[in-house]
Chain A
Amino acid sequence: MNSKMKSNLEVAGIYLIFAFMAVIIIYPIVWAIGMSLNSSTSFYSSTIIPENWSLVHYKWLFTDPNSDYLLWYKNSMIVSGCSAVFSVIMTSLVAYAFSRYNFVGKKTGLYTFLILQMFPAMMAMVALYILLNLVGLLDTLTGLILIYVGGQIPFNAWLVKGYLDTIPRELDESAKIDGAGHMTIFLRIIIPLAKPILAVVALFNFMTPLFDFLLPSIILQSSDNYTLALGLFNFINDQFSNNFTRFAAGAILIAAPVSVLYLFLQRYLITGLTAGGTKG
């Protein structure tokens, strides 16, 4: 009896901890949603659950002539979309070469990737700013995309190479005997088999630019070129108390679909990461 009671108390304690955690997790989220539904733009009159809620801020984002929200949304989609597509193409080509061919500089290349991975991209931000300025790509989406695509190669090439190494070589060798050329083997055999890891690469490279703040803040200067993260930050950076409600609305519109997507995909992401990180 005594031990059962002890066990019950423990379980109750655990539930209590979870309840406490749930409050800490959900409070900021609910508060932000409440803010976005608050009909006034001022902070001071607001309570957590607004007395007279309305969708006025959401409407403002989409319809007001002063709102650049849709433009930022478009910019973000261009940057994230291009970054995802080109990253997958570049990375899969490089990873295929490293996984299947022997060539001059292969080992040097792999070591270079490792070393480049170690240095944080931010270390070079001074240089990126000046270099892009030199070639006239400062304040353009193209410049931003190029840097995202180039910067992801070392890490993702290793990731994809590791995956391609697990695809049996007999497959491409038998295709070679059947007369398939290099490109055919790559497109018809390797790519279809590597779909799962390429999907992870695409997802990473779609999400990173979407919520990156640092790089866009260095490269993009005119408000017409802002991505969502930058635009939303400037919403509250200009006049904090005035625009926070609008920021909340804009942030929720983008955070909600992404959160749902992540909740669905997190299991695959975790599996992918642990498989890569723990195999040895």
Chain B
Amino acid sequence: MLEREKVVDNSLSEKGSINKPKPVKHNAAIATILSIIFAGFGQIYNRRFFKGIIFIILEIAFIISCGDFINLGIWGIRTLGTIQGVDHSIFLLVYGLISIILLVFVVAFYILNVKDARKQATLIAQGWEPPRLRESIRIGYDRSFVYWLTVPGFALLIFTVLLPLLFAISLAFTNYDLYNSPPKNLLDWVGIDNFTQLITVPIWKDTFFSVFSWTIIWTLVATSLQIILGLFLALLANDSRIKFKKLIRTILILPWAVPGFVSILIFAAMFNNDFGTINRDIIIPLFGGDGIPWLSDPLYTRIVLIVIQTWLGYPFIFALFSGVLQSVSKDWYEAAEVDGATRWQKFRNITLPHVLFATAPLLIIQYTTNFNNFNVIYLFNEGGPAVQGQNAGGTDILISWVYKLTFETNNYSMAAAISLIIGLLVSIFAIFQFRRTSSFKQEGKI
């Protein structure tokens, strides 16, 4: 029982043993310096032989196995290769990034090692007796358990998220495109050239500003429309005079239930200029003429895209608001009625603040999602129709433009540069949102 408590709260047990004063000649500074010289030396000096030997083995193993690699990587990321045709800049860049990540971990481990040696040396000098080997292994397991929990997740995260992100950011500062690509050519660091090109070279400038402004219009209009429609329908469906509420709700939520990918492709066929049902069965019979060029005129395509996104996106808002509306207390409305409030006043001063307050973070997410809503833009008309004088389609948003630059014209550096701009814009939004969420605030307090 007593032992277990020791295990549970290890720091307490350390403090507990100090109480027996048995001063020993032991210098914390020596332990610190030794452990800086080589991981584990300090621990050996502290007579923690098992731990010390493990640390020494770890460091030797690391130097033997990764030393050359890190050397190569650091050289590689600095120069991106020097011999044309032999050095592969992209490999070197990746090695370099991996080396940097490895080094960060090694430095963290080293700092821990020094801190550990110093702390224990100080304790020993005060008369603390280190636990026996068996006991310390148990304590070690106990303390390190949490790392075993997180290591698989973190390792995966580093290789599938962190490394690609760092890699993409690095690419934005190189000159990697179809004509200058390894292994035939070497890449170079070009600083912010890609960004300056983006706002100075006419074709890039025109494309960038037209795509950027459409992205903003698209995000604001499509998202706001889906929120307004969702709210409007939720208010109507919440009306006490309406019957068949369950049926109405189910129908209104249908577009959410159908996979968006399928709906978008169906819409693409429906709006097809030649054989789509919209032109053939609705526009031409009603208004005559040859139908509307939905997919070949940028303006019409943009309008249709916004309508489709509204169709796809409102049900989620509707479901969300329906839930919140039911939680608004009836008393407030009754009190307002007593005061003679009009319906608009009740909506403006009771319903709207309540609903918006409860759902603000989710509504902000809607905006950021649409900002990067690749699926609708690309699947509907592949960002088209093509527009003269720019290298993106008439309805391309930033993210679909990046896709095209990467996979159609192989202009990797420029794609990475634009990605970086997207990332910065989205993070501004996201920071704003996360500052409001509760878990963030709680964590900040720890």
**A91: which B residues are within 8 A, CB to CB?**
153
Q: Which of A57-65, A77-85, A146-154 contacts B (4 or more CB under 8 A)?
A: A146-154
**B443: which A residues are within 8 A, CB to CB?**
107, 110
- Give the number of chain B interface residues (Cβ < 8 Å): 99
A119 to B431, CA, bound (A): 11
Whether the Cβ atoms of A97 and B254 lie closer than 8 Å is: no
A129 to B405, CA, bound (A): 13
Closest to A236 in B: B265
Does B258 sit at the interface, judged by CB under 8 A? yes
**B257: which A residues are within 8 A, CB to CB?**
258-260, 262-263, 266
**B237: which A residues are within 8 A, CB to CB?**
18
- Give the number of chain A interface residues (Cβ < 8 Å): 101
Q: Scan B125-153; emit 1 where CB is below 8 A from any A CB, else 0.
A: 00000000000000000100111011011
Chief secondary structure at chain B's binding surface: helix
Beyond A126-B419, A266-B257, whether A119 also contacts B427 by CB under 8 A is: yes
Q: How many Å from the CB of A199 to the closest CB on chain B? A: 18
Closest to A131 in B: B164
Does B440 sit at the interface, judged by CB under 8 A? yes
A101 to B144, CA, bound (A): 11
A127 to B143, CA, bound (A): 36
Does A32 sit at the interface, judged by CB under 8 A? yes
- Starting from the known contacts A119-B165, A211-B261, 12 additional A-B residue pairs (CB-CB under 8 Å) come to A29-B254, A103-B146, A109-B150, A118-B430, A123-B420, A126-B416, A130-B94, A176-B8, A213-B379, A218-B407, A273-B362, A278-B358
Query: Could you tell me which A residues sit within 8 Å of B by CB distance?
Result: 7, 10-11, 14-15, 17-18, 21-22, 24-26, 28-29, 31-32, 35, 43-44, 48, 90-91, 93-94, 96-98, 101, 103-105, 107, 109-110, 114-131, 134, 146-147, 149-151, 153-154, 157-158, 161-162, 165, 176-177, 179, 182, 210-214, 218, 229, 232-233, 236, 240-241, 244, 247-248, 251, 254-255, 258-260, 262-263, 266, 270-271, 273-274, 277-280
Show 22 residue pairs from A and B whose CB-CB distance is below 8 angstroms, ordered by the A residue: A14-B241, A17-B233, A25-B255, A90-B152, A104-B112, A119-B165, A123-B165, A123-B423, A125-B406, A126-B406, A126-B416, A130-B90, A134-B94, A154-B161, A251-B262, A259-B257, A263-B253, A263-B257, A270-B319, A270-B320, A274-B323, A280-B437
